[in-house]
Amino acid sequence: MSAILYPVAANAEQAMSAPRGRAAREREAQALAREPVVFTTDPAGPAFATREAALAAYAGKVEDDRAGLSVPLEDRFCRLAEQILVEPGRTRPAPVAPTFEDGRRWPAPPDSPPRTAWRLMVSYWRIATAERPIEAPQARKARRTRQSLEPETLRAIARAPLRPVEPQQPLDIGLFEIRPPEAPHIVMPDE
C-alpha cells in the first residue's frame, strides 16, 4: 500500500526545505520527532497573482493538470489554494445571507469579485512543542453555546479531527451478534 509521506517539521517552511523525516502515520512521525506531533496544513512561500505563475514556481511539487505532470503519490503533501487578499485598513468580506427573493436563494454577486492570490498549502506533521496550536473546542459544543468565535478558533475547529462527546465504550458483543428482546441475557449470532 502506498501512502502520502508527510514531512515532520516545526513549521511549513522547514517542512519544505529541511524536514526531520517523512511519515505517513502519527506514530511514525512521533518516532521521528521524539516529541508529540500535530497534523496541520499551513501556507508557505510567497503569494502569486495567477495560478499559472504559482504552478511555474512550484513545478514538480504540485499536480499540474495543464502539462499533465504528475507528482508521485508519496510526495503529494503540497497543493495550491486561492485566498482572498485583504487590503490594509479593510476587513474581510462578510458572509452573505440567503435572501429567498424572486425565486432565488442568493443575492446577485458583487460587480467586482474580491482580489485573490494563489498560495502553496503544505500538509505536514508539526512538532507540537514548536508552536502551541489553538486548543479548539469540540464543534458540537461550540455550536450549541451559540457564542461568537474568533476566526482563528473557527479555523482550528475546521482543521481538527472529529472528536467524540465522550469516549467510546467497549463493545460487549460482537458485530454480528444480537440480544433477543425476550431474553436480553443471551447473545445470539445474527445471520
pLDDT in tens, 108-127: 887 888 888 999 999 999 98
In three-state secondary structure terms, 180 is coil
In three-state secondary structure terms, 62 is strand
Mean pLDDT of 166-187: 78
Q: β-pairing, 116-127 with 6-9?
A: parallel
Instruction: List the beta bridge partners of residue 40.
Output: 124
Highest mean pLDDT among 101-105, 115-119, 141-145: 115-119
pLDDT for residue 1 = 45
pLDDT for residue 186 = 86
Task: Identify the helix (H) or strand (E) that includes residue 123.
Answer: strand 116-127
pLDDT higher than 70, residue 130:
no
